[in-house]
Amino acid sequence: MFEGKIGFIGIGIMGRPMAKNLLKAGCKLVVYDKFAQFDDIVSLGAEKAASNKEAASKCDLIITMLPNSPHVKEAILGQDGVAEGVKSGAIVVDMSSIAPAAAQEIGAALKAKGVSFLDAPVSGGEPKAIEGTLAIMVGGDQQIFDKVKPVLEKMGSSVVRVGDIGAGNVTKLSNQIIVALNIAAVSEAFTLATKAGVDPQQVFDAIKGGLAGSTVMNAKVPMMLDGNFKPGFRIELHIKDLQNALDTAHELGVPIPLTASIMETLQGLKIDGHAASDHSAIVRHYEKLAKTEVRKK
């Protein structure tokens, strides 16, 4: 296990349970969040920092878990940021989901200061963050990855290095495309079944063990059937991820028409007031079109 102090920046829906799991594992944390309250994390034994800079100055490993590229760049490279306080030889691991190009920019800036960087976005949402069973996809140097892998394993059940800096976020964008389109397909199918008069719970029970079954179906259909759209992963965050996917794809000359289509569905849901709902609320788009509700009977 990593022996020094670990800075943890970003105590939100995902960062809070991740930090708690590190504390449970015996890690020494220094925590900071510019916007969220984190007294509960301090009460569990973490040290409270007054800025990103201060958190970085006290630690040999700094983890960031923030909403998007601009937030990560500000926290690391901005005024009173990690880069101003971090010591040469330290390691920064960004576990946010950001644009691959932004990860590479941050990595280059930190390398100039003698600081190593990994991009290590996660998949699994709040439930997996609480369980400590996230899937973590990592980009960066193999030796640095080997050093921090034991720490990452306290937050995830799958920790895989997929390439150099930026590769972690390319993998996460690929993941987010598949998840969004899977939820859309499930929503479309279950709306059809419901409108046809077939109990959607029975449909779920019948097909979940077959080829159509998936982790996404198992996680999201029960939420749809209960009308429970409390966010584990908000629609507005999935919009952010798909925008990064579209931007990256366009830069590389890769058409992704299905991603563009589900992006417009998500934008419509946002306009309808569902931005803060779980992405399982994609079903509401199909319900609206078909004038029905996919619910338990």
Check if 6-164 and 170-290 are the same fold. no
- Grouping H, G, I as helix, E, B as strand and the rest as coil, residue 62 is strand
What is the set of active-site residues?
172
Give the tokens for residue 15.
């960062």
Q: pLDDT band for position 232 (50/70/90)?
A: confident
> Whole-angstrom Cα distance, residue 34 to residue 295?
40
Fold of 170-290: N-(1-d-carboxylethyl)-l-norvaline Dehydrogenase; domain 2 (1.10.1040)
pLDDT tens by residue, 92-116: 999 999 999 999 999 999 999 999 9
Q: Locate the domains of the chain by residue range.
A: 6-164, 170-290
Looking at residue 1, its pLDDT comes to 62
> Whole-angstrom Cα distance, residue 111 to residue 131?
33
Radius of gyration of the chain (CA): 20
The listed CATH number (3.90.330.10, 3.40.50.2000, 3.40.50.720, 1.10.390.10) that belongs to domain 6-164: 3.40.50.720
pLDDT tens by residue, 250-262: 999 999 999 999 9
> Whole-angstrom Cα distance, residue 25 to residue 153?
10
pLDDT tens by residue, 202-218: 999 999 999 999 999 99
DSSP secondary structure code for residue 162 in this structure: E
> Whole-angstrom Cα distance, residue 269 to residue 263?
10
